[in-house]
């Protein structure tokens, strides 16, 4: 499995299937504990400084600046702003609760029969569903290009955001007890009423143990060469 050393900087990756803005955070919870939100909130991971993302295309990569929202603002540790803006987001930025007997016709997993999972949060055009808030009949709810310029301008592959991954560098706390952990990733969307999450198994070892393992592997390699 994946092994991290306490006090080290490690790489993480995620990939999005929709442009929803917002921000995300990586956190750790002991594998033998209840994997609750409260547990993950106890150990949020910091991002390596300076904040940079590596955008991984199929056959190339590019580095772009990252924007960290510090603990002094969030009160829950560091969060990273989603680096990819959505300028044309009228349809996905609002949701509506459909009345009984009507079903959401949005094309998404679980939206149709038998679950009709989106009936209480169906993506819709903001101005059509909430004319009281958009009397002009138009809703400009995307990112402001002057405040949030396109970080991948000029990269043709950028236009299909499903084809690349976003890589970050996170700091493993130096005082982490060695053992088995679950790495949690939480993305709080800004342009939809959604929270996405996923997780991975991580083994954390002490720095001394990592050095001993490296020394053993080098000595073993040397012995094999001598033979």
- State the DSSP string of 45-113: PEEPSS-EEEEE-SS-EEEEE--EE-HHHHSSS-EEE-SS--SS-TTTSEEEPPPTT------STTSST
Q: Is the pLDDT of residue 48 over 70?
A: yes
pLDDT in tens, 56-89: 988 889 999 999 999 999 999 999 999 998 876 6
pLDDT of residue 211: 55
Encoding tokens for residue 90? 């009228």
Q: Is the pLDDT of residue 8 over 90?
A: yes
Q: Looking only at Cα atoms, what is the longest distance across the chain?
A: 82
Which DSSP helix (H) or strand (E) runs through 188? Answer: strand 179-188
Q: How far apart are CA 24 and CA 143, in angstroms?
A: 17
Q: How far apart are CA 167 and CA 14, in angstroms?
A: 7
Q: How far apart are CA 184 and CA 162, in angstroms?
A: 21
The answer to whether 197 and 37 are in contact (CB under 8 A) is no
pLDDT in tens, 154-183: 775 556 777 899 999 999 999 999 999 999
Confidence of residue 219 (pLDDT cuts 50, 70, 90): very low
Q: What share of the chain is helix, strand, coil (3-state, %, to 5)?
A: 20, 30, 50
pLDDT of residue 67: 96
Weakest-pLDDT range from 137-146, 175-184, 205-214: 205-214
Instruction: Give 197-200's long-range contacts (Cβ < 8 A, gap of 24+).
Output: 198/14, 199/35, 200/2
The dihedral through the CA atoms of 125, 133, 95, 70 has a sign that is positive
């Amino acid at each position: 499995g994946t092994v991290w050393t306490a006090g080290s900087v490690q790489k993480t990756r995620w990939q999005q299937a929709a442009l929803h803005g917002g921000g995300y955070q990586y956190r750790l919870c002991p594998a033998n504990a209840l994997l609750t939100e409260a547990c993950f909130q106890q150990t949020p991971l910091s991002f390596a400084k300076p904040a940079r993302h590596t955008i991984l295309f199929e056959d190339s990569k590019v580095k772009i600046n990252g924007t960290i929202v510090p603990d002094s603002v969030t009160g829950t540790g560091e969060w990273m702003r989603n680096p990819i803006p959505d300028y044309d987001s009228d349809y996905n930025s609002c949701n509506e609760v459909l009345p009984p007997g009507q079903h959401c016709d949005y094309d998404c997993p679980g939206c149709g029969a038998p679950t009709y999972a989106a009936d209480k949060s169906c993506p819709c055009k903001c101005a059509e569903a909430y004319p009281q808030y958009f009397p002009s009949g138009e809703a400009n709810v995307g990112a402001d290009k002057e405040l949030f310029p396109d970080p991948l301008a000029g990269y043709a592959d950028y236009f299909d955001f499903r084809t690349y991954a976003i890589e970050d560098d996170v700091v493993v706390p130096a005082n982490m007890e060695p053992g088995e952990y679950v790495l949690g990733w939480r993305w709080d969307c800004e342009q939809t009423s959604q929270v996405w999450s996923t997780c991975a198994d991580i083994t954390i070892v002490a720095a001394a143990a990592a050095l001993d393992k490296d020394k053993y592997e080098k000595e073993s390699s040397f012995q094999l060469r001598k033979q």
